[in-house]
A and B are shown apart, each in its own frame.
Chain A
Amino acid sequence: NAGVTQTPKFQVLKTGQSMTLQCAQDMNHEYMSWYRQDPGMGLRLIHYSVGAGITDQGEVPNGYNVSRSTTEDFPLRLLSAAPSQTSVYFCASGEGLLEQFFGPGTRLTVL
């Protein structure tokens, strides 16, 4: 099993550009989530999904969109990147929140 995979590992964007961070898991988990990690703030939940076709907002959803068309994939879209979105992004999957497996992270810089 590959576990939770994220692509790309690193990305640099200009303000206003759009992009999609990819997340995939091969553990057949229903629950998937996206977090951002900023210095001194721990991880904050952006969006989560409890199954295919179901998504919901977390603590900091503004500026991000998600969709869940399959159990395996949970992409995170930035429609118009802003410098405030410079962060490390982690995707996670699990059987609910009780045991989440995290991906390796994507380091995003918005200039």
Chain B
Amino acid sequence: AQKVTQAQTEISVVEKEDVTLDCVYETRDTTYYLFWYKQPPSGELVFLIRRNSFDEQNEISGRYSWNFQKSTSSFNFTITASQVVDSAVYFCALSDPRGNNDMRFGAGTRLTVKP
């Protein structure tokens, strides 16, 4: 069965600190996709990134970066020089689009960035 674990329930940092959100996944599939979504206080879900299981290259987008390591089944998300606007709940998710079209989300990590 597919499972996503985000062990950090809440993280609090001061503005300009770097912060890493952990995501560990379990799947028996060889082809799968990993995602990160952001849910700001307004409640909507914002897509951040998708990564397929065959692409282990790290990705950087501005202050955001993602580290995918199949050896440890992890897909961690780092925010560099955090800002107050980064305060949100962040979800990691896993899917196998060739299978049952199911997507499994982690429980989420609430990030609070204090000024």
Report A's interface with B, CB cutoff 8 A.
31, 33, 35, 40-45, 48, 50, 56, 58-59, 88, 90, 92, 96-102, 104-105
B33 interface neighbour in A45, A97, A101, Cβ under 8 Å? A97
B interface bracket (residues with beta carbon within 8 Å of A): 20 to 34
Is B95 in contact with A97, judged by CB distance below 8 angstroms? Answer: yes
Which of A44, A48, A105 interacts with B105 by CB under 8 Å?
A44
A100 to B93 Cα, complex, angstroms: 12
Apart from A40-B107, A48-B101, A102-B44: 4 A-B pairs, beta carbons within 8 A? A43-B45, A96-B97, A98-B97, A99-B47
Dominant secondary structure of chain A at its interface with chain B: strand
B44 to chain A: which residues have CB within 8 Å?
Answer: 102, 104-105
Interface residues as binary, B82-99 with A (CB distance below 8 Å gives 1, 0 otherwise):
000000000101010100
Q: Which residues of A contact B114 (CB under 8 A)?
A: none
Closest to A96 in B: B97
Question: Are A97 and B103 also in contact (CB < 8 A) when A42-B91, A42-B108, A43-B91 are?
Answer: yes
Inter-subunit contact B102/A58 (CB<8 Å): yes
Partner among A31, A43, A99, A101 whose Cβ is within 8 Å of the Cβ of B101: A31
